[in-house]
């Protein structure tokens, strides 16, 4: 087992470079299955546990897939099976994103049901509603969902009851090889949807309107290999912006695209944090007292749920009470109990949490309950008096490349150790337990 040990109180200073976006590269790798000709090369691929999992999943399906530092190469001309193994799908819900591509390309897929997870029940009804409208038929049994397409997927009009990111992506990928036009209404508008559409188009697809609530896809007969660079990770960027603010430091977050993080920038400014938007990133500086603010998570372009816990950590250091309302996932306050162990004063009332800012935080032993909760605890540790030890690091490794090293470079007193031997492993790659 490994843990991160943070000694709080250091102001972060310097420059941090953002990696490619996890939530963009995962659907893009899944979409590679659609290419029946040629090689795909995806640049700025972050070497994360989730990326390793989806790459392994493609290999399992018979594709050639090679993941190196910064890029992944895929050839999916020959797929040998349409069944996804439970061991890989249970590690990561995004594995379900191979359903759309498999149905479109191979007319069959058998995938373990992704199940619930720490942050909520996360159903897949909107994915299935879309595929069924396009002519797929499903059977559920023994923990698996099996989809069949009797002929070829047909384009149709699909209204999503919730603007689900995953459902929009899965349907968009399936529609790329369907017969005729598919229109997705109430589509999710996240930047990662736009990135996937751009990638599909680079493979020869005809997708228009991504980034708006209505996406039109005209199906084509085949897709081919291409070379593509994914967008920078807006949540990783946001996490370092909060790290700068929570330590009252000054950090340039290189690669952050201000347009992708508007709600975060707006809320930081309301608190009194100085944010300068540049062409090549954002500059964040904070000092002294920060104002409390209310935050409500919403689908894009609203405040991202993936930044909720990190923002809550920052609000603990504000001068007064803030209310954080989580509207996207029904159970995304698991970090609250851990933060309370650090002296945080937070009261949960249904989907809202009242955060009493201004009470000093003290270091404690805490555990990451999910990916962003883990990051938030590290942030809280940067601001706390004394030493914070964060365990369950496999959650953090799903979404942050070299979190410890990047914070060290900014001046944080932080290290990663193996618990049994108390051996410092900060300078080596995480082991992705
Ligand atoms: C790999 C990836 O990109 N993950 C992101 C993606 O997850 P993911 O794609 O799973 O999130 P969704 O947008 O689908 O989920 C949003 C809401 O819709 C509900 N829902 C979803 C699908 C469905 O068929 N039925 C349904 O009711 C979910 O339970 C949730 O309450 O978007 C989330 C919302 O921005 C982010 O937190 C995740 O980091
Ligand atoms: C919730 C997240 O990811 P996933 O949808 O893969 O669980 C996240 O990135 O914060």
The pLDDT of 368-386, averaged and rounded, is: 97
C-alpha 242/C-alpha 69 separation (Å) is: 27
Mutation probe of ligand 1 site: the residue of 27, 165, 235 with most atoms within 8 A of C-beta? 165
pLDDT above 90 (res 221): yes
Which residue's CA is the nearest one to ligand 1's atom 36?
306
122 belongs to an annotated ligand binding site: yes
Nearest to 396 by CA among 413, 414, 421: 414
For the 22-229 domain, the top CATH level (class) is alpha beta
Which pLDDT value is given to residue 430? 44
C-alpha 119/C-alpha 116 separation (Å) is: 8
The pLDDT of 250-277, averaged and rounded, is: 98
Nearest ligand to the CA of 233 is: 2
**CA terminus-to-terminus distance, the chain:** 8
Centre of ligand 2 from the C-alpha of residue 124, in Å: 15
C-alpha 364/C-alpha 370 separation (Å) is: 18
Nearest to 157 by CA among 177, 136, 180: 180
The pLDDT of 355-367, averaged and rounded, is: 97
Which pLDDT value is given to residue 121? 82
360 belongs to an annotated ligand binding site: no
The pLDDT of 359-384, averaged and rounded, is: 97
Burial 259-287 (b: 16+ CB within 10 A, else e): ebbbbbbebbeebbbebeeeeebbbbbbe
Give the torsion sign (CA, 331, 335, 338, 339): negative
With a 6 A CB cut-off, is 335 part of the ligand 2 pocket? Answer: no
Long-range contacts of 345-348 (CB under 8 A, 24+ apart): 346/312, 346/316
Distance of CA 123 to the CA centre of its chain: 17
Which residue's CA is the nearest one to ligand 2's atom 8?
306
Q: Which residues contact 279 (CB under 8 A, 6 or more apart)?
A: none
CA-CA-CA-CA torsion for 66, 72, 77, 81, nearest 10 degrees?
A: 60
Which pLDDT value is given to residue 433? 27
Catalytic residue among 79, 113, 117, 202: 117
Centre of ligand 1 from the C-alpha of residue 271, in Å: 28
Q: Which residues contact 414 (CB under 8 A, 6 or more apart)?
A: 4, 5, 6, 7, 378, 381, 382, 404, 407, 408, 426
With a 6 A CB cut-off, is 357 part of the ligand 2 pocket? Answer: no
Q: Where are the alpha helices (DSSP H) in 48-97?
A: 49-60, 86-89
Q: CA 145 → CA 1, 150, 174, 318, distances in Å? A: 34, 16, 17, 47
Confidence of residue 50 (pLDDT cuts 50, 70, 90): very high
Q: Which residues contact 419 (CB under 8 A, 6 or more apart)?
A: 1, 2, 3, 391
Q: CA 396 → CA 178, 181, 244, 346, distances in Å? A: 37, 40, 19, 23
Which pLDDT value is given to residue 421? 57
Provide the 3-class DSSP secondary structure of residue 408: helix
Centre of ligand 2 from the C-alpha of residue 113, in Å: 17
Q: What percent of the chain has pLDDT over 70?
A: 96
Task: State yes or no: is 259 an active-site residue.
Answer: no
Q: What percent of the chain has pLDDT over 90?
A: 93
Which pLDDT value is given to residue 55? 97
Nearest to 254 by CA among 266, 243, 240, 242: 240
Which pLDDT value is given to residue 431? 36
Query: pLDDT per residue over 74-110, tens digit each?
Result: 999 999 999 999 999 988 889 999 999 999 999 999 9
Confidence of residue 119 (pLDDT cuts 50, 70, 90): confident
Give the torsion sign (CA, 76, 82, 87, 90): positive
What is the model's pTM? 0.96
C-alpha 338/C-alpha 344 separation (Å) is: 9
pLDDT above 50 (res 285): yes
The pLDDT of 322-351, averaged and rounded, is: 97
Which pLDDT value is given to residue 429? 46
- Whether 75 contacts 81, CB under 8 Å: no
The pLDDT of 426-431, averaged and rounded, is: 48
pLDDT above 70 (res 357): yes
Could you identify the atom of ligand 1 that is nearest to the CA of residue 371? 39
**What region, left, alpha or beta, does residue 97 occupy, with left being phi > 0 and alpha being psi -120 to 50 degrees?**
alpha
Query: pLDDT per residue over 181-199, tens digit each?
Result: 999 999 999 999 999 999 9
Which pLDDT value is given to residue 163? 97
Do the domains 2-19+232-424 and 22-229 sit in the same CATH topology, yes or no? yes
Domain coordinates of the chain in residue numbers? 2-19+232-424, 22-229
Q: Determine the CATH number of domain 2-19+232-424.
A: 3.65.10.10
Centre of ligand 1 from the C-alpha of residue 5, in Å: 31
22 belongs to an annotated ligand binding site: yes
Which pLDDT value is given to residue 120? 79
Residue 287: both structure tokens together: 């000092």
Mutation probe of ligand 2 site: the residue of 26, 96, 371 with most atoms within 8 A of C-beta? 371
Average pLDDT of the residues of the chain: 95
């Amino acid at each position: 087992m490994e843990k991160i040990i943070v000694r709080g109180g250091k102001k972060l200073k310097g420059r941090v470079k953002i990696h490619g976006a996890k939530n963009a590269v995962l659907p893009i790798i899944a979409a590679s299955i659609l290419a029946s000709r040629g090689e795909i090369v995806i640049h700025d691929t972050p070497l994360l546990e989730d990326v390793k999992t989806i790459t392994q999943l493609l290999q399992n399906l018979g594709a050639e897939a090679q993941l190196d530092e910064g890029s992944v190469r895929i050839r999916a001309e020959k797929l040998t099976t349409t069944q996804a193994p439970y061991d890989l799908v249970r590690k990561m819900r995004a594995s379900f994103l191979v359903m759309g591509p498999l149905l479109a390309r191979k007319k069959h897929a058998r995938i373990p049901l992704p199940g619930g997870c720490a942050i909520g029940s996360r159903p897949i009804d909107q994915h299935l509603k879309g595929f069924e409208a396009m002519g797929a038929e499903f059977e559920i049994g023994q923990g698996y969902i099996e989809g069949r397409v009797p002929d070829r997927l047909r384009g149709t009009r699909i209204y999503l009851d919730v603007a689900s990111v995953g459902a929009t992506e899965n349907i968009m990928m399936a529609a790329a090889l369907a017969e005729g036009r598919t229109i997705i209404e109430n589509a999710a508008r996240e930047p990662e949807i736009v990135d996937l559409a751009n990638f599909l188009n680079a493979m020869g697809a005809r997708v228009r309107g991504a980034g708006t609530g209505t996406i039109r896809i005209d199906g084509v007969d085949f897709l081919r290999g291409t070379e593509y660079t994914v967008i920078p990770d807006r949540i990783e960027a946001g996490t370092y912006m909060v790290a700068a603010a929570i330590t009252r430091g000054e950090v340039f977050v290189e690669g952050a695209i201000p347009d992708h993080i508007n709600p975060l920038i707006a809320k930081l400014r309301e608190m009194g944090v100085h944010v300068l938007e540049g062409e090549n990133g954002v500059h964040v500086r904070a000092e002294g007292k920060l104002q409390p603010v209310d935050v409500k998570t919403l689908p894009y372009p609203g405040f991202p749920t993936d930044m909720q816990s990190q923002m809550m950590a920052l609000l603990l250091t504000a001068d007064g009470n803030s209310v954080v309302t989580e509207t996207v996932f029904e159970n995304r306050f698991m970090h609250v109990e851990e933060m309370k162990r650090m002296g945080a004063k937070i009261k949960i009332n249904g989907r809202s949490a009242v955060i009493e800012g201004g009470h000093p935080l003290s270091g404690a032993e805490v555990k990451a309950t999910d990916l962003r909760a883990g990051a938030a605890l590290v942030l809280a540790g940067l601001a706390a008096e004394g030493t914070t030890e964060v365990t369950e690091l496999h959650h953090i490794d799903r979404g942050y490349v070299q979190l410890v090293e990047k914070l060290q470079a900014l001046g944080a007193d932080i290290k990663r150790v193996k618990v049994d031997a108390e051996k410092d492993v900060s300078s080596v790659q995480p082991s992705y337990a």
